[in-house]
Amino acid sequence: MSTLEARKLRHIEACLRPESQYQRVTTGLENVVWPYRALPELDMNAVDLSTTFLGKALRAPLLIGAMTGGAEKAALINRHLAQAAQRLGVGLMLGSQRVMLEHPTALSSFEVRPFAPDILLIGNLGAAQLLKGYGADQITRAIELIGADALAIHANPLQEALQLGGDTHWAGIAARLSEVVGGVPYPLLLKEVGHGLSAEVARMALGAGLAALDVAGAGGTSWARVEELVRCGEVRTPDLCEIGIPTAQALREVRAAAPQIPLIASGGIRSGLDAAKALMLGADVVAVARPLLEPALVSAEAVEAWLEKFIHELRVALFVGGFKDVAAVTGKSAG
Amino acid sequence: MSTLEARKLRHIEACLRPESQYQRVTTGLENVVWPYRALPELDMNAVDLSTTFLGKALRAPLLIGAMTGGAEKAALINRHLAQAAQRLGVGLMLGSQRVMLEHPTALSSFEVRPFAPDILLIGNLGAAQLLKGYGADQITRAIELIGADALAIHANPLQEALQLGGDTHWAGIAARLSEVVGGVPYPLLLKEVGHGLSAEVARMALGAGLAALDVAGAGGTSWARVEELVRCGEVRTPDLCEIGIPTAQALREVRAAAPQIPLIASGGIRSGLDAAKALMLGADVVAVARPLLEPALVSAEAVEAWLEKFIHELRVALFVGGFKDVAAVTGKSAG
Amino acid sequence: MSTLEARKLRHIEACLRPESQYQRVTTGLENVVWPYRALPELDMNAVDLSTTFLGKALRAPLLIGAMTGGAEKAALINRHLAQAAQRLGVGLMLGSQRVMLEHPTALSSFEVRPFAPDILLIGNLGAAQLLKGYGADQITRAIELIGADALAIHANPLQEALQLGGDTHWAGIAARLSEVVGGVPYPLLLKEVGHGLSAEVARMALGAGLAALDVAGAGGTSWARVEELVRCGEVRTPDLCEIGIPTAQALREVRAAAPQIPLIASGGIRSGLDAAKALMLGADVVAVARPLLEPALVSAEAVEAWLEKFIHELRVALFVGGFKDVAAVTGKSAG
Amino acid sequence: MSTLEARKLRHIEACLRPESQYQRVTTGLENVVWPYRALPELDMNAVDLSTTFLGKALRAPLLIGAMTGGAEKAALINRHLAQAAQRLGVGLMLGSQRVMLEHPTALSSFEVRPFAPDILLIGNLGAAQLLKGYGADQITRAIELIGADALAIHANPLQEALQLGGDTHWAGIAARLSEVVGGVPYPLLLKEVGHGLSAEVARMALGAGLAALDVAGAGGTSWARVEELVRCGEVRTPDLCEIGIPTAQALREVRAAAPQIPLIASGGIRSGLDAAKALMLGADVVAVARPLLEPALVSAEAVEAWLEKFIHELRVALFVGGFKDVAAVTGKSAG
Ligand SMILES: Cc1cc2nc3c(=O)[nH]c(=O)nc-3n(C[C@H](O)[C@H](O)[C@H](O)COP(=O)(O)O)c2cc1C
Ligand SMILES: Cc1cc2nc3c(=O)[nH]c(=O)nc-3n(C[C@H](O)[C@H](O)[C@H](O)COP(=O)(O)O)c2cc1C
Ligand SMILES: Cc1cc2nc3c(=O)[nH]c(=O)nc-3n(C[C@H](O)[C@H](O)[C@H](O)COP(=O)(O)O)c2cc1C
Ligand SMILES: Cc1cc2nc3c(=O)[nH]c(=O)nc-3n(C[C@H](O)[C@H](O)[C@H](O)COP(=O)(O)O)c2cc1C
C-alpha cells in the first residue's frame, strides 16, 4: 500500500467521526424559508426533477460528491456509488486521481464506467498539483483513462496549510489554471473541499475559462478538521477549522458574480429540503459527500436507498412549494 | 371497523404524542407583545367577548378545531365537544366527513346536533377529494346530513405527500374549488391542517368564492409529523415536517391580502393570551384542536373546564389591555 | 389575625419563592450598555450620590420598595427597613395601608417614624379601593396617621384579575384619581406592582395631577405570579403572568411622555449597576423590593449591609462611567 | 516579601483561575468574519509577518502582554518570557514596575535585557501613581534601569475601585499625563488592563501626547474579577465585573478616533485567528497576557511553543485570506 493509499484510508476513517463536521458554522440553509402553498395546482408524481448538467441528462439534480479512490476499500466504495448512480440516473464525482497517476495499480479503483455506462462522471485532481508539474496532459489522461465526462480541480489551501508537508505554494495559480484549461479538450470544474468559493474566486475561475463551479461551502464536512484528525487524532486549531464561507452564502455570492455558470451546491447538504433550498439560491444541481460514505461501505443498495429517500424529499418539497420542475425553483426558464 | 376508521384511531393516538407538535418552528405569537394598561377604565366582568361568525352568535370568539369522526371513540369525542360547545356558546368544527360519506354507519359519530342545537357547527372534507369525484352534491349532503351551518375544506398537500398512497393529484384544484363553491347553498371555508395558508392561497380562495379562511398555521400540531408517526412510529423526515407558515405570519399575510374575509386563527393556539394576540393580528375568531383531545376523551365537563379557563384568560388579557370587546382588539368598529 | 393580615403573610411567603419572579421576561437593563471611561477625571469618594425627591434630601437615589404592613411579622420587617433607611439616608415606601384603615390594631405595624424621623416616607393604597369608597379623606388619614411625606397609589389590574374575588371594577378610575388628588394636601404617586406603567398611563396620571410615578416594570417580582402562588400553590396561567412592560422600556416610554415628572425606576432592580442604568434611562431614583425582604426578616443591620453594597456598586459605576453626580447620569443640569 | 510582592503572587494565582475571565461579555472577535480565498495566489512560507512597532523590528506583529515583576516567581516568569521573545523576535511588555521603584531589591526581577538584548521591551506603571507623586523622573528611571524602549501607563479605574484601599483619585489625570509625557525622553503608551479604551479616552491620550495605545479590551482577563478573587476568594459583584468595552469594539472606535496612532490589540486574544481579525480591525500588533502565564511558569521553551503555534495560525489565516503581509491585512500601504 503506497503512502498516498494509506493516507486515503485514514481520511475515510476521519470522515466517519462526528468531529469531521463543522461545530459552530452552519450552512445557513436552515435560515432559508421554504415556501408552502396549500393549494399547489400540481400532481406530485408529475413534478419533473430531471435536468441536464454539463450536457448530460440527470433524472434528478444531484451528484454524488467527490470522495475517494486509490485503495482497495476505495474501489469498493466507488463501485457501490457508481452502481447506485447508474440505477437512479444521477451524477458521480470521483475522488482525487493523483494516486492513480502516480501509482498505476490504483487505476482500477477509479474504473467505474463498466458499472455506470450512462452517468455524468467527473474526475478529480488538486489545484496545488498544477503548480508542481501537472498540466493539461495529466488532466486529459486522468479523464480519458476512466472515461469521465469532465474533471473537477479542487482548491484546498486551508487543508494543505494544516497538513504536514502540505502543498502551500499557490503563487501563480490563476495563470496556471488558464493555461491548463486551454489545453484540455474536456470541461473542467473548480471546487473547494468544504470551505467555500467566494465571489472573487468565482470571477477568477470565470477568467481562467472553467466550465462550472462547485461551491463546496462551510457547514458540513471540514477538510481542515479531517486533516487535523488524521495528523493528530484530534482537532488542534479549532478556530482555523471553522474558517470558510457557509454554503448558503457561497451560493448567493457566486451566483451573483457568475449568473450563467453551471453551479453545484455542496457542503453540508443533508436532506432533500436542503437541496431544494440550494436550488432556490441559484444552484443547478447539488452534491452530497459524507452522508453517502457509510452506505457506500455497505452496498450499492444502501447508497440507492439513501438517495431515493433524498430524492423523494426533494420531490415533496417541490410539490408543496408549488414548483413543477427544477427550472421553476432555480428561476431559469424551463422547457 | 373500516380502514378509514382504523386510520382515524391511529391518528388520535399519534396526536396524543408530544412528537406530533412542531419541534423547532413556533407560531410566532410568543414574539407578539400584548399591551398592558395599568389603568384600564373597564370593569373586567363587563368585557364583552361575544361576537358573530358566519352569521351565528358566539359567546366567545372561539371554535373547537376540526378533529375527528368515524370511529366509536370519535362519536364519544364529538359528543363531549358538542355538549361543551353548547353550554359555553362557542363553535364546533368537525373532522373529515369522508368516512361518513363512504360508510353510512359512520354517520352517527357526526350527529352532534341533538347535543348542541344552537351552536355554529362546521363540517369538514378534504380538498383532494374534490379532484377524485366529490362535488357540490356530496358537500351539500355532508352538511345537511348533520345539520351543519357551513363546511370547511381542508387543504393538506404536505400531509398527503407524506402519507403512503396519499392523494397528491392537485392539478386543477382552483378551478374545481370555484365550481364546487358555486353549487353549494352553504358557506364554505378553506383551512389547512397545521402548515398554514399564505397570502397567495388566500387570494386563490377569494377568487374561488370561499366564505371564510382558517390559517391553521405552523407551530402547533404538524400533520406531517402525525402522518409519519402513524406510518413509521417515528418521524423520518424531520426537515420536511417543519415546513409551513407560522400562525402569526400566516395571520398577518392573509389578513393583508384579504382585509374583509372572516378569518379563523388556528395552529398552536394554546392559551387565552395566544387567542388575544391572534385577534390583535386580525383574526375574527380562534380555533383550538389538540389541547381539547385529551379532555374530550374524558367528558364534556373536562372539555368545558379547559375552555372556561381559556376564556377566562382571554377575558383577563382584554381587561388588562384595556379592550372593552372583541372589536376593540381586532380594530373593527364595534356595536 | 384578620383575613387581610393572613393574606399579607401568605404574600410574603410567596414572594420568597423563586417562582415569584418573571421567568422569561427580563427588565431589559441587561441590554443597556454602561459606558466605561478608563481616564475618569474624578475622585471616586467625591462622586456625589445625594439627590432630592419630592422635596426631601436623600443620601443616595434609592428607596426601599413598597412591601408590607399589617401583621406582626410585617411590623418587624418595617422597623428593620426604617432603621436601615434612617441610617443610610434613603427613602422608604410602605406596603398597602388598607389593612390599617380597616383594622386599627394594624396601625402600629406602619408606625415607623420613631425609627426613621428624617427619611422620605411614602404611604401606600390600592387604586381599586378608590372606586369602592375610599377617597381623599382616607388617603389623608393614611398619610397623617403614620407621618408620611406622600402616598403611592398602586394600580394592579392584572393582580386583581388573577385574585379570587379581586377588585376588577376599574371603570371611571381616571376621573376618580383626579378627584382624589385634588382633595389630598400631600403629593400622591402612581405605581404598578411589577407589570409596568406605559406612556399612555403616564399621560393619564399627569392629567389626573399625580406628583410622581414609579414604573414598577416587568422583569423582577411579578404580582400575577405571587397571586397565583398564594391562591393555588403554583402558577397556573404562566402566559398571563409574563404580561407587562419591561422596566427599561417602561422607563424610556414614560420619561419620553412625561419629561419633567419625578420618576422612580423599580421592578427587577437588583444591583447598583441596574440602578445606574435606570438613572441613565431617565429615572430620578430607583426602588428595590424583593431583595430586601430576606434581610428585613433578619435585622436592620442585614438590610443596611445589603443597601451599602448596592450603594457602593452604584458609586463605582458612576466613577468608572465618568459621572460626578446623579444629575450627570440622568442628564439633568446639576448644582 | 513586601506587601506589594505578596499581592503580585496572589494576582498570579487569581489569574490562573477560570473565574478571572469575563463570563458573559466576549471580545466580539468571534463575530468578525475572516475572509477565505480558495485560490490565494501566494506561497504560505512567503507570507511576511514582520513589522516594526515604536521603531523596533518584530518578526511577527505580536507582543507578550504586561504581566508581572517584583517577586521571585515573577523574575522567573519574566526571564522565560524574555528568552522566548528574543528567540522569536516578538516584543515584551513587563508588569507594573512600581514595586521596583519602591523596593530596590525587586529590580532584578525586571532585568530581562541580558536575556533579550534585541527585543522591543516596554516598561509599565499605573496611571493612578502619577497623581500620587510619580512623575517624569520616576518614569524615566523605570525605563532606563531596565533598558526598556518605552513604557506603558495602565489606566485601571475599575480595578482600583474594587480593590480595598485602591487608588481612586483620578481628578486631574489628563493634565498630569500631558505634563509627564513632556518630561520623558522615551515613548509612552496608554493601556487598560482588560476593560478597554474608548474613542473618548483615545482622544484624551492623543491630546496628552501619548505615543501609542493598547486597547486591552473586555472579553479576556477581567482585572475587576481578578481583584475580587484576590480580595474575597470569589467574585462578589459580577455585574460590575462585566463592565467594559469589548476588544473588537474598542479597536473599531479607537482606530476611527485616532487613525494614525500605533495601536495594540489586547484583551482576550487567544488564537492566531483572533490576532488576524484584530489586525483587520485596525491594530498594528496584538498582545497576549494570560495564556502565556502557565507556560511562563514552566520554561522559555513552553512559552516559545505556545507562541510558535499562535504565529503559525496567524500565518495560515493570512495565507487562506490571500494576504501577503501584515500591511495587506491592516490596510496600510506596505513596503
Ligand atoms: C471521505 C471523503 C473524501 C473526500 N475526498 C475528496 C477528494 O478526493 N477530492 C475532492 O475534491 N473532495 C473530496 N472530498 C470533499 C467533498 O467532495 C466535499 O466537498 C465535502 O466533503 C463537503 O461535502 P459534504 O459536507 O457533503 O461532505 C471528500 C469528502 C469525503 C467525505
Ligand atoms: C386529533 C386531530 C384530528 C384532526 N383531524 C382533522 C380533520 O379531520 N380535518 C381537518 O381539517 N383537520 C383536522 N385536524 C387538524 C386541526 O383542525 C388543526 O388544523 C391542527 O391540529 C392545528 O391546530 P392545533 O395546533 O390546535 O392542534 C385534526 C387535529 C387533531 C389534533
Ligand atoms: C413582599 C412584597 C410585598 C409587596 N407589597 C406591596 C404593596 O403592598 N403595595 C404595593 O404597591 N406594592 C407592593 N409590592 C410590590 C413592590 O412594591 C414592587 O413594585 C415589585 O415587587 C417589583 O419590585 P421588585 O422586582 O424589586 O420586587 C410588594 C412586593 C413584595 C416583594
Ligand atoms: C498575571 C497577569 C498580571 C498582569 N499584570 C499587569 C500589570 O502589572 N500591568 C498592566 O498594565 N497589566 C497587567 N495585566 C493585564 C494584561 O496586560 C492585559 O491587559 C489583560 O490581562 C488582558 O489581556 P488577556 O485577556 O490576554 O489576559 C496582567 C495580566 C495578567 C494575566
| Residue B308: per-residue pLDDT | 98
For residue C98, the tally of other CB atoms under 10 A from its CB is 20
Do B and D count as touching (3 or more CB pairs closer than 8 A)? no
| Residue B8: per-residue pLDDT | 81
* Mean pLDDT in residue range C25-30: 98
Question: Strand B121-126 and strand B91-93: pairing?
Answer: parallel
Partner C contacted by B319 (CB < 8 A): yes
Contact criterion met (CB < 8 Å) for A240 and D316: yes
pLDDT at C14 exceeding the cut of 70:
yes
Closest of A217, A197, A226, A324 to residue A274, by C-alpha: A217
pLDDT at A335 exceeding the cut of 50:
no
Q: Are A270 and A291 in contact (CB under 8 A)?
A: yes
| Residue C1: per-residue pLDDT | 59
Q: What is the tens place of the pLDDT at every residue in C210-243?
A: 999 999 999 999 999 999 999 999 999 999 999 9
When the pLDDT of each residue in chain D is averaged and rounded to a whole number, the result is 95
Q: Are B68 and B12 in contact (CB under 8 A)?
A: yes
Close Cβ partners of C54 (under 8 Å, ≥ 6 residues apart): C120, C122, C149, C150, C187, C211, C212, C262
Partner C contacted by B207 (CB < 8 A): no
D42 Cα to the center of ligand 2, angstroms: 61
Instruction: Give the range among A108-117, A326-335, B66-75, B281-290 with minimum mean pLDDT.
Output: A326-335
Give yes or no for residue A266 CB within 6 A of ligand 1: yes
* 3-state SS, residue D287: strand
Q: What is the tens place of the pLDDT at every residue in D225-254?
A: 999 999 999 999 999 999 999 999 999 999
Q: Are C274 and C239 in contact (CB under 8 A)?
A: no
| Residue C7: per-residue pLDDT | 81
Give yes or no for residue C65 CB within 6 A of ligand 3: yes
Distance separating alpha carbons of residues C238 and A318, to the nearest angstrom: 40
| Residue A14: per-residue pLDDT | 95
- What residue ranges line ligand 4, CB within 6 angstroms? D 11-12, 15, 65-68, 95-96, 124, 154, 191, 193-194, 216, 220-221, 266-269, 288-290, 293
Which protein residue's CA is at the shortest distance from atom 4 of ligand 2?
B67
Percentage of chain D with pLDDT > 90? 92
CATH fold for the domain made of A3-330: TIM Barrel (3.20.20)
**C201 pLDDT band (50/70/90 cuts)?**
very high
Close Cβ partners of A300 (under 8 Å, ≥ 6 residues apart): A79, A80, A81, A83, A84, A87
When the pLDDT of each residue in chain A is averaged and rounded to a whole number, the result is 95
| Residue D334: per-residue pLDDT | 43
Distance separating alpha carbons of residues D315 and A76, to the nearest angstrom: 39
Cell of C250: 417602561
| Residue C335: per-residue pLDDT | 38
Within 8 A of B41 by CB-CB distance, chain C residues are 170-174
Within 8 A of C161 by CB-CB distance, chain B residues are 44, 316, 319-320
Partner D contacted by C40 (CB < 8 A): yes
Query: Which chains does B contact via 3+ CB–CB distances below 8 A?
Result: A, C
pLDDT at C5 exceeding the cut of 70:
yes
pLDDT at A3 exceeding the cut of 80:
no
What ligand has the least distance to the C-alpha of C271?
Answer: 3
pLDDT at D54 exceeding the cut of 80:
yes
Within 8 A of C40 by CB-CB distance, chain D residues are 157, 170, 173
Q: What is the DSSP string of D235-277?
A: -S-TTGGG-S-BHHHHHHHHHHH-TTS-EEE-SS--SHHHHHH
Pocket test for ligand 1, best of A7, A27, A67 (most atoms within 8 A of CB): A67
**A68 pLDDT band (50/70/90 cuts)?**
confident
**First-to-last C-alpha distance (Å) of chain A:** 50
Torsion over CA: D121, D126, D132, D135 (sign)? positive
Would the annotation count C277 as a binding residue?
Answer: no
pLDDT at B260 exceeding the cut of 80:
yes
Which among A43, A271, A316 has CB closest to B169? A43
Percentage of chain A with pLDDT > 90? 92
Which residues of D make up each annotated binding site for substrate?
Answer: 7-8, 96-98, 159
| DSSP H or E stretch at residue B123 | strand B121-126
CATH fold for the domain made of D3-35+52-317: TIM Barrel (3.20.20)
What radius of gyration, in Å, describes the C-alpha atoms of chain A?
Answer: 19
Tally: H helices and E strands in chain D: 14, 10
When the pLDDT of each residue in chain B is averaged and rounded to a whole number, the result is 95
Map grid coordinates 383551512 to a residue.
B191
| Cα angle, residue C200 at apex, residues C195 and C202 outer, rounded to 5° | 75
* Mean pLDDT in residue range C178-189: 97
Map grid coordinates 434609592 to a residue.
C62
Distance separating alpha carbons of residues C159 and A1, to the nearest angstrom: 78
| Residue B333: per-residue pLDDT | 57
What ligand has the least distance to the C-alpha of B291?
Answer: 2
* Mean pLDDT in residue range D65-77: 86
| Residue B335: per-residue pLDDT | 39
**C325 pLDDT band (50/70/90 cuts)?**
very high
How long, in residues, is chain C? 335
Q: Are A219 and D36 in contact (CB under 8 A)?
A: no
The full set of domain ranges for chain A reads 3-330
| Residue A54: per-residue pLDDT | 98
pLDDT at C334 exceeding the cut of 50:
no
CA distance, residue A127 to nearest chain B CA (Å): 36
Within 8 A of C32 by CB-CB distance, chain D residues are none
Distance separating alpha carbons of residues C201 and C155, to the nearest angstrom: 10
Q: What is the tens place of the pLDDT at every residue in A288-331?
A: 999 999 999 999 999 999 999 999 999 999 999 999 999 999 98
Which among C156, C168, C196 has CB closest to B43? C168
Which residues of D make up each annotated binding site?
Answer: 7-8, 66-68, 96-98, 124, 159-160, 191, 221, 268-270, 289-290
Which residues of D make up each annotated binding site for Mg(2+)?
Answer: 160
Which protein residue's CA is at the shortest distance from atom 5 of ligand 3?
C67
Distance separating alpha carbons of residues C119 and C54, to the nearest angstrom: 11
Contact criterion met (CB < 8 Å) for A237 and D271: yes
**B71 pLDDT band (50/70/90 cuts)?**
confident
Closest of B52, D170, A299, D13 to residue C46, by C-alpha: D170
Q: Are A189 and A214 in contact (CB under 8 A)?
A: yes
Would the annotation count A7 as a binding residue?
Answer: yes
Close Cβ partners of B69 (under 8 Å, ≥ 6 residues apart): B8, B75, B78, B94, B95, B96, B97, B99, B100, B106, B109, B110, B124
| Residue C6: per-residue pLDDT | 82
